[in-house]
Structure 1
Amino acid sequence: MNFKRLVITTVIAASQVAMVLPASAEEMVQTNPQSEVNVSGQALNNANTGNLNQNGTVDGTTNPDQGQVDSQIDGQVTDETGGTTVPGSTDEGTGSEGSETGGNTTTTTPPVVDNTSASSTDGKLILMMNSKKMYQNGKEYLAGYPMEVQKGVSYVSIRAIVERAGLQINYDSKTKETIIQRGSDELRFKVNSSSYKVNGVTTKMSGTSYSTKNNFMVPLTAITKALNMPYEWDQKGKRVIVSVSTKPVASFSIGNKEVISGETQVQYLNNAYSPSGLPIVNEEWLGREEMFMTPGQYVVTYRVQDSSGQWSDPFSLTVNVVKPHTPPVANFTTDKETYKMGELITYNDLSTDEVGIKDRDWENRELAFFTPGPVSIKLTVTNQFGLTSSVEKMITITNETLYTRDDFNKIFTPVGDKYMFDGTQVPSWAKVNYSFTADPTTLIRSNSPETVYSEGVVYRETAIGDTRFMIHHANATGKSVKMYVIASNKNTTETARLTQTNLGFAGPNQYATGVGKASVQRYYESLQTGNKYKDMWIAPGESKIILTELSATSMKPGEVISLLADLYSDQTLQYDVIMLDASKDPFKSLPYLSVLPSDIHNRGTYTDATRHIEYSELIGTTPTRLLIGDNSSDPFLVGEDGPTGEYKLNAGNFGVVYTIKLHRVAPNTLITFNPRGGFYTGNIMVNGNIVPIANSSGLSAPNENSVLFRSGDREQTVEFLFTAAPGSNLSVNLLFQPMPEVKQP
């Protein structure tokens, strides 16, 4: 940072005679950046410095190459070569070891035309327009070569001014680079090059460097973009006044994100430095406290002294000290203090916090209790600062019974939650003897090998018209991979239109059932909103990546992805589902990939993959079940393996979408979801609403079920949309049963 300030000075110094500066740039002053969010501050009477960024540029600099302002001042662009040549000037591009003074000096008083533009010349370098004269600390210097303008770019001689800014200049004979150094900062220039290096970063210049009359010339903006030095343009006096103060600069920041009174040990991060590279030998603080004991705003002022004895201007920050955070207050009530067994308990959470409660943890919070006696219920709340509070209350359960556990659950278990029951009795319930129709949707199920151990094509198929993809795979290759679906138009004359209507994607994630559930939920959401609709066109002989969500993120070893999507194409397309090293190009790799063999899981191409069930008889007056995925009431789809042509049976009918419309559901009917084939977690749509199965966890067969819907006091129509979640187990039942009579406590 120090280095930057001086180099820009250097450069502008070189600009001495034919200086090209915007006429409107009367003053450029950069402000010190503020510290952390909890402090504000400013330097007092301190020369401000710019910051060298990673690209070797500085924000907020004025580009002297933007127009020839010389002509606005003198009526012409002047290429001045007159004046006294400075003795000892050498070829800056040859690495000569001879020293250079930077100009003859005499003690003189610099001309002052407009005192308002520069009240003091201390720490200033004054460059006179259309003259080789420079003034610094009351002395006059003559530059070795004036700045000149070529093709609209202002060029400056490097060596003429480096000493005025206290910089070091060297030549690297191996790389043939002229080097300007200041502390750890470094600029490297080459003759006849349009780029240069700033701390190793190659940066484009506005023009090409060159050598003339033993002076190495570079675009002025090559310096101003790398270093930011404040300056004043004195229009009346035709001079540029550059700040080249060598005073040390005091600066600090607060390392704490938050300063709490009586708790926070304040971290003062010292950023002081000397532009001359001198060591800082002394410092003074005003208002500094290692810990502030009272909330409020505190001004902390800092100044430093270097080894030459110079003191910096003071630098101040305002530290905002906040009061200590208080823990939340846990509190709740119940609508009563005494309840019958099986009586609904209403909880009212009255917990409070100054910023908001992040977590609530209940212990023994049940909707009802079925054993008499005292019951303790506890609530613990946590705020965002990790502070907690707990409250515990007692209620009493009497010997009187209002509802049995089973009846209570049927009436009061919330939709989306589960409850336990005797599932062994379900097979004896009457079955809904439904029939179905089907849409000619082609299902491409890519689910084998489910766990993929090497790169390759996991499935390949051709299709036209309505097509559904169900993709579910785990990465066991031992490296990061991506999955792609590539659609290829093998037609030689017709462009194919491919329309994506619905899509649900989840992963990559290590939990197979979790991504399966999430992909189905997002598929339903796309049905509701239409937000995944898109059209694309594939020209004859062209291949495109489709279903781009699938390939957007790399899969790490052990991670799983799951996707369900509906498409329509007006031409036959070939689809390749591939797993590939994440760093490889899928189009270049595809011709060399082999089709991977399947494992015990299912893959195949199946038709008629959308089923419609309509049932017009009254349902719900007695316990009844509607069975899905059992290969009896709901027969499995028959198809073939796309790559091998082998016969396939879609066990469980994964990827099949069911629409179920029950025209006559009896009043006060409870509808629940009960798995029969094993663990199940997913979602189902009921009358257009997405209902989880189940909220906090999945369901275990056969004694858990999840509440989907309760009809009202009138007969009504209920519609479902269902597709099995990958990672779960089929078959499943929709259960219909009358609810118990509601009682008064």
Structure 2
Amino acid sequence: MLDWFRQASVAVAVTVAVSIVSDPQIALAKPGFPANTNIYSIAELPVTKTEQAGKLLLSDSPEMVPDDGIMYQDTVSGDVRLFFHHVNATKELKKIVVLLVNESDTAADVVVNQYGLGGPSLDYLAVGKLAQLNYLNQEEVELIEVPAGGTALLEPVLNQTVIAPDALVNGIYDFHTKTPVRVVTMMLPVEADPAEFVKLARVLPADSQRLRGTFPGRDRLIVPNEAYHSVNQGVVAITLADHKLDTYVSGIDATDGSATLNYGNYGVMYKVFLPTAFEQKYAVYLNPRGGEYAGALKVKYRHQQETTIGTPADKLFFGSKTVKDVAHIGDYAGGQSLWLTFSPPGASNLPVKIILAPAAK
């Protein structure tokens, strides 16, 4: 799994950034955002939001990992997504792994059906963006057998990857298991055996952000209440991950039983369907509202055309010190099926707005 990721040193940030913008599947941004639009007062498009089945395991606390130990763990079954985002905050070389522990008396078949990995790198925005691009572009299915009373690595290459001080690793893994397994994210010495290390490893205290836990509803469906009419409605927006119009998911930190909130909805996959009026061509943009942002979107158009688009596509990130930046996702014919897959990228700032506008003539 992920042979390209096999490396023993920190990736050079410039190299990561170049690989992102040179990917042939990523459409380049182009101008056309309606002139004279007041970015501060765009009308909100009424939508219905529905949380869908599945669990989200979030492991992002402590984000800056100060010592060897377990960052997060929980025993789960069914459809699961793991989002982990950790920095080696020690002065030594380390490795960060995800171990599957089967404490039952029957073998567990874990089917990994989508995944993306970014890093290790000192460029945190590049890591978060690359993890999303790899996740959205990945189509392989992997089977991991975890023996009864035994363990297996969710991503074996991480056990061979050295994480330098201050380097970040970000992973997004979707999997299914009928047999309950304990999912453990942990940092440990480079030469340590994860299966042995976990037996004595302590759970590290959460940091002040407390971004870890198990959350219901790993996917969120967003559907406007009525079809968008570009001629009549002009420029409108759908706000995501602001905790006002779009609330954060709440869950439980399984390490201590406390309630927790996923500030930013990291790891939640949004499926956004955009019904539109016929004979009205329109444009779609992504607008970061919280600061520096580097991510990706998957677009499915007319039920078959799928494209992964960097947000932004022509550079690593945007949104620094301004809320006026927009990334052009594309122009589309009205009345045709259009789906967007969006998720808050690691290391980026939220919220964002998906903006619909009449297409430039």
Report the TM-score range of the alignment, normalised by the length of the smaller protein. 0.7 to 0.9
Could you say which residue in structure 2 is the equivalent of 1:618?
228
- Given the alignment, which residue of 264, 269, 274 partners 1:652? 264
| Shift, 1:518, TM fit | 0.1
- Given the alignment, which residue of 51, 59, 64 partners 1:438? 51
Conserved in 1, the CA contact under 8 Å of 2:32 and 2:359? no
Q: TM-score, normalised by structure 1?
A: 0.42
Could you say which residue in structure 1 is the equivalent of 2:250?
638
- Given the alignment, which residue of 311, 325, 329 partners 1:693? 311
- Given the alignment, which residue of 283, 286, 293 partners 1:673? 286
Q: Which residue identity does 2:191 align to in structure 1? A: S
* 417 and 590 in structure 1: CA distance in 2 versus 1, 3 angstrom threshold: farther
Conserved in 2, the CA contact under 8 Å of 1:505 and 1:549? no
Conserved in 2, the CA contact under 8 Å of 1:617 and 1:663? yes
Could you say which residue in structure 1 is the equivalent of 2:10?
none
Could you say which residue in structure 2 is the equivalent of 1:536?
144
1:496 counterpart = 2:117: no
1:726 counterpart = 2:346: yes
Conserved in 1, the CA contact under 8 Å of 2:39 and 2:324? no
| Shift, 1:718, TM fit | 1.6
Residues 690-717 of structure 1 deviation map (CA, whole Å, 9 limit, x = unaligned): 01111223121401111001124x5433
Q: Which residue identity does 1:721 align to in structure 2? A: T
| Shift, 1:536, TM fit | 2.1
Q: Which residue identity does 1:692 align to in structure 2? A: G
1:593 counterpart = 2:201: yes
Q: Which residue identity does 2:122 align to in structure 1? A: Q
Conserved in 1, the CA contact under 8 Å of 2:49 and 2:220? yes
Residues 204-261 of structure 1 deviation map (CA, whole Å, 9 limit, x = unaligned): xxxxxxxxxxxxxxxxxxxxxxxxxxxxxxxxxxxxxxxxxxxxxxxxxxxxxxxxxx
Q: Following the alignment from structure 2 to structure 1, what is the Cα–Cα distance between the partners of residues 35 and 122?
A: 33
Kindly report which structure 2 residues correspond to 1:3-152, keeping only aligned pairs within 5 A, or say none: none
Q: Following the alignment from structure 1 to structure 2, what is the Cα–Cα distance between the partners of residues 423 and 574?
A: 54
| Shift, 1:544, TM fit | 1.4
Residues 552-579 of structure 1 deviation map (CA, whole Å, 9 limit, x = unaligned): 3110112111100101010111111110
**Which deviates more, 550-559 or 563-572?**
550-559
Q: Which residue identity does 2:71 align to in structure 1? A: V
Unaligned segments of structure 1, at least 5 residues = 1-413
Conserved in 2, the CA contact under 8 Å of 1:665 and 1:711? no
Residues 362-411 of structure 1 deviation map (CA, whole Å, 9 limit, x = unaligned): xxxxxxxxxxxxxxxxxxxxxxxxxxxxxxxxxxxxxxxxxxxxxxxxxx
How many residue pairs get aligned? The number is 322
Q: Following the alignment from structure 2 to structure 1, what is the Cα–Cα distance between the partners of residues 353 and 181?
A: 37
Kindly report which structure 2 residues correspond to 1:453-602, keeping only aligned pairs within 5 A, or say none: 453-492=66-105, 494-526=106-138, 530-531=139-140, 533-601=141-209, 602=211
Q: Following the alignment from structure 1 to structure 2, what is the Cα–Cα distance between the partners of residues 418 and 564?
A: 32
1:739 counterpart = 2:359: yes
Residues 335-364 of structure 1 deviation map (CA, whole Å, 9 limit, x = unaligned): xxxxxxxxxxxxxxxxxxxxxxxxxxxxxx
Conserved in 2, the CA contact under 8 Å of 1:609 and 1:657? yes
* 726 and 520 in structure 1: CA distance in 2 versus 1, 3 angstrom threshold: same
* 704 and 468 in structure 1: CA distance in 2 versus 1, 3 angstrom threshold: same
Conserved in 1, the CA contact under 8 Å of 2:56 and 2:80? yes
Conserved in 1, the CA contact under 8 Å of 2:126 and 2:316? no
Q: Following the alignment from structure 2 to structure 1, what is the Cα–Cα distance between the partners of residues 184 and 190?
A: 17
Conserved in 2, the CA contact under 8 Å of 1:620 and 1:670? no
- Please state whether the residue corresponding to 2:67 is helix, strand or coil: coil
1:709 counterpart = 2:312: no
Conserved in 1, the CA contact under 8 Å of 2:145 and 2:152? no
Kindly report which structure 2 residues correspond to 1:347-362, keeping only aligned pairs within 5 A, or say none: none
* 549 and 580 in structure 1: CA distance in 2 versus 1, 3 angstrom threshold: same
Conserved in 2, the CA contact under 8 Å of 1:665 and 1:718? no
Q: Which residue identity does 1:587 align to in structure 2? A: A
| Shift, 1:668, TM fit | 2.6
User: How much identity, in percent, do the aligned residues show?
Assistant: 24
Conserved in 2, the CA contact under 8 Å of 1:435 and 1:613? yes
Could you say which residue in structure 2 is the equivalent of 1:113?
none
Kindly report which structure 2 residues correspond to 1:210-229, keeping only aligned pairs within 5 A, or say none: none
Kindly report which structure 2 residues correspond to 1:143-182, keeping only aligned pairs within 5 A, or say none: none
Conserved in 2, the CA contact under 8 Å of 1:415 and 1:706? no
| Shift, 1:543, TM fit | 1.4
| Shift, 1:665, TM fit | 5.2
Q: RCO (CA 8 Å, sep 6+): is it higher in 1 or 2?
A: 2
* 663 and 559 in structure 1: CA distance in 2 versus 1, 3 angstrom threshold: same
| Shift, 1:479, TM fit | 0.9
Kindly report which structure 2 residues correspond to 1:158-307, keeping only aligned pairs within 5 A, or say none: none
| Shift, 1:642, TM fit | 1.7
| Shift, 1:436, TM fit | 2.3
Q: Following the alignment from structure 1 to structure 2, what is the Cα–Cα distance between the partners of residues 508 and 702?
A: 29
| Shift, 1:418, TM fit | 7.0
Q: Following the alignment from structure 2 to structure 1, what is the Cα–Cα distance between the partners of residues 158 and 137?
A: 17
* 581 and 731 in structure 1: CA distance in 2 versus 1, 3 angstrom threshold: same
Q: Following the alignment from structure 1 to structure 2, what is the Cα–Cα distance between the partners of residues 549 and 729?
A: 29
| Shift, 1:631, TM fit | 1.5
Q: Following the alignment from structure 2 to structure 1, what is the Cα–Cα distance between the partners of residues 348 and 189?
A: 28
| Shift, 1:618, TM fit | 2.3
| Shift, 1:727, TM fit | 0.5
Q: Following the alignment from structure 2 to structure 1, what is the Cα–Cα distance between the partners of residues 74 and 81?
A: 12
| Shift, 1:551, TM fit | 2.8
Q: Which residue identity does 1:432 align to in structure 2? A: L
* 422 and 631 in structure 1: CA distance in 2 versus 1, 3 angstrom threshold: farther
- Please state whether the residue corresponding to 1:653 is helix, strand or coil: coil
Q: Following the alignment from structure 1 to structure 2, what is the Cα–Cα distance between the partners of residues 448 and 550?
A: 19
Q: Following the alignment from structure 2 to structure 1, what is the Cα–Cα distance between the partners of residues 175 and 110?
A: 7
Q: Following the alignment from structure 2 to structure 1, what is the Cα–Cα distance between the partners of residues 95 and 336?
A: 48
Q: Following the alignment from structure 1 to structure 2, what is the Cα–Cα distance between the partners of residues 452 and 419?
A: 43
Residues 119-150 of structure 1 deviation map (CA, whole Å, 9 limit, x = unaligned): xxxxxxxxxxxxxxxxxxxxxxxxxxxxxxxx
Q: List structure 1 runs of 4+ shifted beyond 6 angstroms.
A: 418-424
* 665 and 452 in structure 1: CA distance in 2 versus 1, 3 angstrom threshold: farther
* 721 and 423 in structure 1: CA distance in 2 versus 1, 3 angstrom threshold: farther
| Shift, 1:461, TM fit | 0.8
- Given the alignment, which residue of 37, 41, 51 partners 1:428? 41
| Shift, 1:468, TM fit | 0.3
Residues 279-304 of structure 1 deviation map (CA, whole Å, 9 limit, x = unaligned): xxxxxxxxxxxxxxxxxxxxxxxxxx
Unaligned segments of structure 2, at least 5 residues = 1-26, 301-305
- Please state whether the residue corresponding to 1:704 is helix, strand or coil: coil
Q: TM-score, normalised by structure 2?
A: 0.84
Q: Following the alignment from structure 2 to structure 1, what is the Cα–Cα distance between the partners of residues 287 and 277?
A: 18
Conserved in 2, the CA contact under 8 Å of 1:498 and 1:537? yes
* 429 and 496 in structure 1: CA distance in 2 versus 1, 3 angstrom threshold: same
Could you say which residue in structure 1 is the equivalent of 2:16?
none
* 607 and 511 in structure 1: CA distance in 2 versus 1, 3 angstrom threshold: same
- Given the alignment, which residue of 54, 62, 78 partners 1:449? 62
Conserved in 1, the CA contact under 8 Å of 2:293 and 2:348? yes
